A and B are shown apart, each in its own frame.
Chain A
Amino acid sequence: MEANFLGINMVNFWTYFILAGGIFVFMFMMGAVMSWSERKQSAVLQDRIGANRASIPLPFGKKFAMWGFINNLADAIKCLIKEDFKPKVYDKLMYNLAIFFAFIPAVLAVAVIPFAGIVKPAEFFNVSYLKWIPYLPEYFAKNLPDYSFKVQVADLNVGLLFIFAIGGISVFGAILAGWSSNNKFSMMGALRAASQMISYEVSMGLSLLGLIFIFQTVNVWDIVQAQNELAWGWLPKWGVFMQPLAMFIFLAAAVAENKRMPFDLPEAESEIISGYFTEYSGFKMLLFMFAEFIEIVFVAIMLTTFFFGGYTVPYMAADGFYFPWGTYVHLSHATVVILQLISFHVKVFFFAWLLQQARWSLPRFRYDQLMQLGWRILLPLAIANLIITVIIVALGGL
Chain B
Amino acid sequence: MDFNVLMYILSGLVAIAGGLILIIAKHPIRGAMGLLIAMLALAAMYAILQAHSIAVFQIIIYAGAIMVLIIYFIMLLDIKSDDYRRPFSKFFWLGGAFILLLTIFFVLKLYFAIAGQPDVFKAMSLSANPASSPDTFGGIELFSKGLMSRYLFAFEFVSTLLFAAIVAVISIVQLDWKGRKNE
Direct contact of A and B (CB under 8 A): yes
Q: Is the CB of B56 within 8 A of A165?
A: yes
A194 proximal to B (CB < 8 A)? yes
A194 to chain B, nearest CB (A): 5
- Complex Cα–Cα for A161 and B64 (A): 12
A34 proximal to B (CB < 8 A)? no
Interface size on B, residues (CB 8 A): 37
- Complex Cα–Cα for A162 and B9 (A): 23
Q: Is the CB of A165 within 8 A of B33?
A: no
Q: Which of B55, B59, B60, B65 has the most CB of A within 10 A?
A: B60
Q: Is the CB of B59 within 8 A of A6?
A: no
Q: Is the CB of A94 within 8 A of B33?
A: yes
Chain A interface, >50% SS class: helix
Q: Is the CB of B68 within 8 A of A165?
A: no
- Complex Cα–Cα for A158 and B43 (A): 13
Chain B residues positioned under 8 Å from A158 (CB to CB)? 52-53, 55-56, 139-140
Chain B interface, >50% SS class: helix
- Complex Cα–Cα for A191 and B72 (A): 8
B127 proximal to A (CB < 8 A)? yes
* Chain A residue at smallest Cβ distance from B4: A7
A22 proximal to B (CB < 8 A)? no
A265 proximal to B (CB < 8 A)? no
* Chain A interface residue number, banded: 20 to 34
Contact partner of B68 (CB less than 8 A), chosen from A97, A156, A198, is A198
B88 proximal to A (CB < 8 A)? no
- Complex Cα–Cα for A265 and B1 (A): 50
Q: Is the CB of A7 within 8 A of B65?
A: no
Q: Mark A171-182 against chain B: 1 for CB-CB distance below 8 A, else 0.
A: 110011011000
Contact partner of B6 (CB less than 8 A), chosen from A6, A169, A179, is A6
Chain B residues positioned under 8 Å from A218 (CB to CB)? 140
B135 proximal to A (CB < 8 A)? yes
* Chain B residue at smallest Cβ distance from A180: B29
- Complex Cα–Cα for A165 and B140 (A): 14
* Chain B residue at smallest Cβ distance from A93: B30
Q: Is the CB of B2 within 8 A of A6?
A: yes
- Complex Cα–Cα for A91 and B68 (A): 18
Chain B residues positioned under 8 Å from A168 (CB to CB)? 59-60, 63-65, 68
CB-CB under 8 A for A156 and B52, given A6-B1, A7-B3: yes
Contact partner of A157 (CB less than 8 A), chosen from B65, B67, B128, B139, is B139
- Complex Cα–Cα for A198 and B64 (A): 9
Chain B residues positioned under 8 Å from A179 (CB to CB)? 29, 71, 75
Q: Is the CB of B126 within 8 A of A7?
A: yes
Contact partner of A7 (CB less than 8 A), chosen from B71, B72, B127, B140, is B127
- Complex Cα–Cα for A164 and B58 (A): 12
Given contact pairs A161-B57, A169-B64, A178-B75, enumerate 5 new A-B contacts (beta carbons under 8 Å). A93-B30, A158-B52, A168-B60, A172-B68, A176-B71
- Ranked nearest first, the 3 interchain pairs of A and B with the lowest CB-CB distance are A168-B64, A165-B59, A6-B3
Offer 28 A-B interface pairs, CB within 8 angstroms, sorted by A.
Answer: A6-B3, A6-B6, A7-B2, A7-B126, A7-B128, A94-B29, A94-B30, A94-B33, A157-B52, A157-B134, A157-B138, A157-B140, A158-B52, A158-B56, A161-B60, A164-B60, A164-B64, A165-B64, A168-B60, A171-B68, A175-B75, A176-B33, A179-B71, A179-B75, A187-B75, A194-B68, A194-B72, A198-B65
